[in-house]
Amino acid sequence: MVQFSAATIAHIPVIQQIAASTWPIAYADILTARQISYMMHMMYSHAVLQDQIKSKGHYFSLLYHRADDAVGFFHINQNIETPGTCKLNKIYLQPNMHGKKLGLKLLQHAEELALSLGSKTMELQVNRNNKAKTFYEQNGYTVLYQDDFDIGAGFLMQDYVMSKYLI
């Protein structure tokens, strides 16, 4: 049985644990260990997650495989610059849960939440070498453009920006 729950500040350690177990596997062949470490701190420090969870227009949701076993999460936010659009910022699933259609359930729940917030479009960024791009394409996302995003410390996110019309 799968359940979703809105994440609160109390769930920050759970989010951090899921990220810490997925990032080294997901990005080992794409990013250097130094860049992974830098990005983990930049995106998953307690202060950063707390600010996002508290911010208006930001939504985190946890996926529970069993009642007390959070195995994945996503984070979306409403795009202030482009009304009617939500951005999928983070979506991660414990590696041992892959192949069970739970990633699809996470994505579908994020899209349903975006629709309930009045968004008609979901956008996301995915590393140009990340095999997750195929997952997004199989679920209706198309590449809008590619770009390099400077994230500091000499690092770039070399991404595709993808989009899906939700209705």
**Entry pTM:** 0.95
- What length is written for the chain? 167
- 68 is in which domain, residue-wise? 3-123
List pLDDT tens digits, range 39-72.
999 999 999 999 999 999 999 999 998 777 899 9
List pLDDT tens digits, range 80-121.
888 999 999 999 999 999 999 999 999 999 999 999 999 999
Query: What is the number of structural domains in the chain?
Result: 1
Whether residue 141 is contained in a domain is answered as no
The CATH code of the domain that includes 39 is 3.40.630.30
Whether residue 76 is contained in a domain is answered as yes
Whether residue 157 is contained in a domain is answered as no
Whether residue 49 is contained in a domain is answered as yes
With beta carbons less than 8 A apart as the criterion, state whether 133 and 125 touch.
no
Beta bridge partners of 93: 72
